[in-house]
């Protein structure tokens, strides 16, 4: 997992692999507040952008998730959000396996979870070995706008 702020892209994240740098630079240079919610292609099906408006929810009401084919680059545009994070140990109880249809595996819960607090401009990169539980409440439920850029993991091979 990688965590940072887009303002630090040039100084702290110059080492990012090209596909991830492409995603994070897109976050820095795009006015996502002006775009309608929806799905957009950045580089065909290999790098896709999702603009999402949602209401945060309690951590206990959100399912931990993991993806196998894509890396998530999550970015907060507006509001505040907590994201639970943990290593995927392979011992988590599966709630729903949607890997074939949506590249999504939901767990019932996860051990040794920490949380990140996302504020506008912050981003987090979740690899296929990183369990994450996005969209969680910081203080109370609130409307947020976030962007998830899906980067095909095989581009980093």
Indicate whether this model's pTM tops 0.85: yes
- Going residue by residue through the chain (157 aa), what tens digit of pLDDT does each one get? 999 998 887 778 888 899 999 999 999 899 999 999 999 999 999 999 999 999 999 999 999 999 999 999 999 999 999 999 999 998 999 999 999 999 999 999 999 999 999 999 999 999 999 999 999 999 999 999 999 999 999 999 8
Q: Residue 9: what pLDDT? A: 77
Q: Residue 122: what pLDDT? A: 95
C-alpha pair distances (Å), 85 with each of 30, 57, 99, 114, 116 = 26, 16, 19, 5, 7
Give the single-character DSSP code of 45: B
Residues comprising the chain, all counted? 157
pLDDT in tens, 5-22: 988 877 788 888 999 999
> How many CA atoms lie less than 13 Å away from 126 in the CB half-sphere?
25
- Provide the token pair at 52: 């999402």
The distance in angstroms from the start CA to the end CA of the chain is: 17
């Amino acid at each position: 997992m990688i965590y940072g702020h887009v303002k630090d892209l040039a100084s702290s994240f110059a080492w990012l692999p090209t596909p991830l740098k492409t995603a994070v630079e897109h976050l820095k240079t795009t006015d996502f507040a002006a775009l309608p919610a929806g799905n957009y292609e950045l580089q065909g099906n290999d790098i896709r952008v999702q603009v999402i408006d949602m209401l945060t929810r309690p951590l206990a009401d959100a399912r931990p998730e993991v993806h196998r084919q894509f890396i998530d680059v999550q970015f907060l545009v507006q509001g505040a959000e907590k994201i639970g994070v943990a290593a995927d140990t392979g011992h988590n109880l599966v709630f729903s396996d949607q890997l074939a249809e949506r590249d999504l595996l939901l767990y019932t819960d996860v051990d040794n979870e920490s949380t990140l607090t996302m504020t506008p401009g912050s981003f987090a990169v979740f690899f296929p070995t990183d369990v994450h539980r996005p969209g969680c409440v910081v203080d109370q439920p609130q409307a947020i706008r976030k962007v998830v850029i899906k980067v095909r993991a095989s581009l980093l091979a």
